[in-house]
Amino acid sequence: MKTITRTLLAATLVACAPLALAQGAADYPSRTVRVLVPNSPGGPVDTVGRLTAAFLESRFKQPFVVENRQGANSRIATEAMVKSAPDGYTLLVSPPQLYVFEQMTNKEWPFRYERDYTVVSWIAGAGYAIVAANNFAPNNMRELVAWTRANPGKANEGQPAGFNVDFAILRHQLKMGEVTLIRYGGAVPAMQAVMSGDVQYVGTTVLTAMPLEKAGKLKIIAYTGRTRHPLIPQVPTVVESGTDHESGLVITLLAPAGMPADLTNKISAAVSEMTKNADVVAKLNAIGQLPQGLNPAQSLTSLNALAKTYSDAIASGVKMNW
């Protein structure tokens, strides 16, 4: 009799679970929401995470608290999100390059975005600025490609952490000549290297490049977004140089797999509203980011396209190491 009672109780709980989640969507949020960020405080990902949390807190009248869980190529933050309940009370703000690239190239990476995440929104994004030493002859991407072909192995490419994957694909698509790759732990030493002439060119954020170019310490020769960046409209894109390549720092909002569609759409709609808010847009532009606010379906389509870019590059023999 006890066994039958327990079985009936378990069946009832399972049957009621979707209803409870659906009811939760209408009342969401009713308590504090955690917003996990896999990066340290102060960078663009953290800044976008905090802007998002602040707007959602204002919009929903409940606390949205940012927690920086950096380390292990975002695995610490991602695991905390994946193992949480799909109820909207644990969200993750992360660049897709981290988790898409890891799942395609790291056999020990345990997560799959198609299986383990609910894609809520493509919050914001922007391409990279390709900057060069002032005494380096090329002034645009076409000239850089031609120079490397004519002088194989003579150009040093600086590689701050996180840029090397996209630039490996770019070199392949443009059929650049051989270059020497020099790794750096961050943007500061890489910028110092290009200004001193230790490297001829490097990729960085638009926000990092602009004041250095204005001070006459380097030059911006290309932008890796599909259309020109409004802060550097005079700089041509790599698409204008004859490639379909598009890359940059994109920032997405994720939740655990299985989050109900109405709850996902509710949060996504609020993010979309945020990306149209003049004050938020100004703050995004101030860090070089452009608002996107894509809905879940659009965001997933963009993620799939990014994964295909990586897959095609790997299949073509491009060596990519994060």
Spatial contact of 68 and 241, defined as CB atoms under 8 Å apart = no
Structural domains of the chain sorted by starting position, each given as residue range(s) with its CATH number in brackets: 31-125+250-315 (3.40.190.150), 128-241 (3.40.190.10)
Does the pLDDT of residue 264 top 70, yes or no?
yes
Q: Which of 129, 184, 175 is nearest to 156 (CA)?
A: 184
Kindly state the percentage of the chain with pLDDT values over 90. 63
Q: How many CB atoms lie within 10 A of CB 19?
A: 9
pLDDT digits (tens, 9 = 90+) for 145-178: 999 999 999 999 998 866 777 888 888 888 899 9
Is residue 302 helix, strand or coil?
helix
CA 129 vs CA 149, 191, 289: distances in Å: 21, 12, 12
Does the pLDDT of residue 75 top 80, yes or no?
yes
- Give the phi and the psi of residue 67 in degrees, each rounded to 5: -125, 120
- Give the phi and the psi of residue 107 in degrees, each rounded to 5: -65, -20
Q: What is the token pair recorded at 191?
A: 């910028």
How far apart CA 249 and CA 129 sit, in angstroms, is 11
283: confidence class by pLDDT, cuts 50, 70, 90? very high
Q: Which residue has the tokens 């069946």?
A: 11
Burial category of 15 from C-beta neighbours within 10 Å (exposed 0-12, middle 13-18, buried 19 and up): exposed
More confident residue, 34 or 72: 34
